[in-house]
Amino acid sequence: MNGGPRCAPGVVVIGGGHAGVQTAETIRKADPDVDITVLSDEVPAPYQRPPLSKSLWSTAVETLPLRNRDFFADRRIDLRQGDPVTAIERDHKRVTLRSGGVLAYRDLVIATGSRPRRLALPGADLDGVFYLRDLADATRLHRALRGVRHLAVLGGGFIGLEVAASSAAVGLQVTVLEAAPRMLARSVSAQTSGRLYDWHVAQGVRLRAGVRAVGLVGDRDRVTGVVTADGATVACDAVLIGAGSQPNTEVALAAGLADENGVLVDRYLRTGDPAIWSVGDCASFPAADGARRRLESVQNAVDQGRRVSANIVATAQGRDLTAFRAVAWFWSQQASLKLQIAGVADTTACEVYERRYDEKKFSHLLVHEGRLMAVESVNAAADHLAARKLLEVGATIDPVRAQDVGVPLRTLIPEAGELSPRAAEPASA
């Protein structure tokens, strides 16, 4: 869009989600001249995913653009839609596109995101079986749900519980089957999981933990039931599968930059190839505790997008890089219930302290060896915001005092100067 070809290759971003778009925006702010291209494999212009599950029961699926079209034009960001990358040719520093096009890069950012893990169940290809990730999924599900009376949800994770709650609220009979012994087992403490269980049951959702689906049965190509490991059949006329997600790593794997759990980056978000970086859902990065982690959240995508941009610009200018370090946070809207999580913890290794306002408003504080690791808040936004600050400064808290809801959590945030030694370390150390 700037006329003829340029001499110097610029920054190429693969992926038009939160991470990719944030990367392009931040690089442009720091560098007015470099060519920036965003390659989105989806045909629609970049949009927000969170509103999709929220609007399943609205009159239409709401699409909220991530940025408006002029945003890209104003910043001379070349947005190309619906032309997936087929290969990264590292030796030539270029990518090839399905259309046959070839694009050279100085820096390449892999922000390919993730997709729902497909269950290899017999009958999974029947009509009436859905996943929920992108606009096309949401549109299909939105259309189909109108005729559904009994929805079976496979997987008691965020997506599964969100759709279960909103569907039960409009009168559907909903059964959630979770293979693990409890809901949200990978995401929250047993205490929070237990409270959510009670809440969903009170909304009329049938929750069955420790029940594994082994197949789907149908009548004339339409799903009519889920067969469980104990041989029973749960009758239904639609199935939503929410069995976690997997990173989109095909192109990176072929280029030797990934393993099965993500694109491998160092703490600067750079891959083993100094010209290639990765951010967002697909990036497997070393967290502060040394463990590799891949996080699926808007916050992580946006914060990594900002960090990688700064590091790319720093590299081009011969300056030092800064390690990625950010407090992770997540949210899930389950009908009228708002779950907000700050921090990442091994929930089984933590002591759990409760701040309880009432039945529907509380927070669980997860503490490991005296240190606050994560806070899970239900309908308690102020606790969540304070928790993000507490985690950012690495505060040690008095858990007994923190349980007193008469004391706002934010008053426990230490003043500058009384921080713990770990928090005082520079982020780049």
Partner 1 sequence: MAKVTFRSSDGSEAVVGLDTPMSIMRAAVTHNVAGIVGECGGNAMCATCHVYVREEFLDRLPEIEDEEEEMLDGVTAPRSHRSRLSCQLVLDDALDGIVVDIPEAQ
**Distance between CA atoms of residues 265 and 428, nearest Å:** 16
For partner 1, give the closer residue by CB, 272 or 408.
Answer: 408
For partner 1, give the closer residue by CB, 63 or 228.
Answer: 63
Shortest separation between residue 341's beta carbon and partner 1, angstroms: 11
**Distance between CA atoms of residues 16 and 47, nearest Å:** 8
For partner 1, give the closer residue by CB, 284 or 309.
Answer: 309
Q: Which residues pair with 374 in a beta bridge?
A: 366
For partner 1, give the closer residue by CB, 64 or 232.
Answer: 64
Q: In whole angstroms, how far apart are CA 10 and each of 19, 101, 127, 141?
A: 18, 16, 45, 39
Shortest separation between residue 125's beta carbon and partner 1, angstroms: 31
For the chain, how many residues are written?
429
Shortest separation between residue 8's beta carbon and partner 1, angstroms: 28
**Residues 6 or more apart whose Cβ sits within 8 Å of residue 106:** 8, 9, 10, 11, 34, 93, 275, 316
Shortest separation between residue 19's beta carbon and partner 1, angstroms: 12
Shortest separation between residue 282's beta carbon and partner 1, angstroms: 19
For partner 1, give the closer residue by CB, 50 or 204.
Answer: 50
Distance in angstroms between the alpha carbons of the first and the last residue of the chain: 41
Shortest separation between residue 227's beta carbon and partner 1, angstroms: 36
Shortest separation between residue 49's beta carbon and partner 1, angstroms: 8
Q: Give me the half-sphere count of Cα atoms (radius 13 Å) on the Cβ side of residue 23.
A: 34
Q: In whole angstroms, how far apart are CA 414 and each of 83, 109, 370, 371, 387?
A: 50, 37, 16, 14, 12
**Measuring CA to CA, which residue among 164, 184, 166, 183 is closest to residue 175?**
164
Q: In whole angstroms, how far apart are CA 420 and each of 182, 248, 288, 393, 397?
A: 35, 39, 16, 8, 11
Helices (H), 103-246: 135-145, 158-169, 190-202
For partner 1, give the closer residue by CB, 57 or 71.
Answer: 71
For partner 1, give the closer residue by CB, 54 or 90.
Answer: 54
Provide the token pair at 361: 């408003």
**Residues 6 or more apart whose Cβ sits within 8 Å of residue 109:** 11, 12, 13, 14, 15, 20, 23, 276, 277, 278, 279, 308, 312
For partner 1, give the closer residue by CB, 114 or 333.
Answer: 333
Helices (H), 31-78: 50-54, 69-74
Shortest separation between residue 193's beta carbon and partner 1, angstroms: 21
Q: Residue numbers of the site for partner 1 (CB under 8 A)?
A: 18, 48-51, 54, 64-65, 67-71, 74, 298-299, 302, 331, 333, 338, 340, 379-382, 385, 388, 410
For partner 1, give the closer residue by CB, 355 or 388.
Answer: 388
Shortest separation between residue 153's beta carbon and partner 1, angstroms: 21
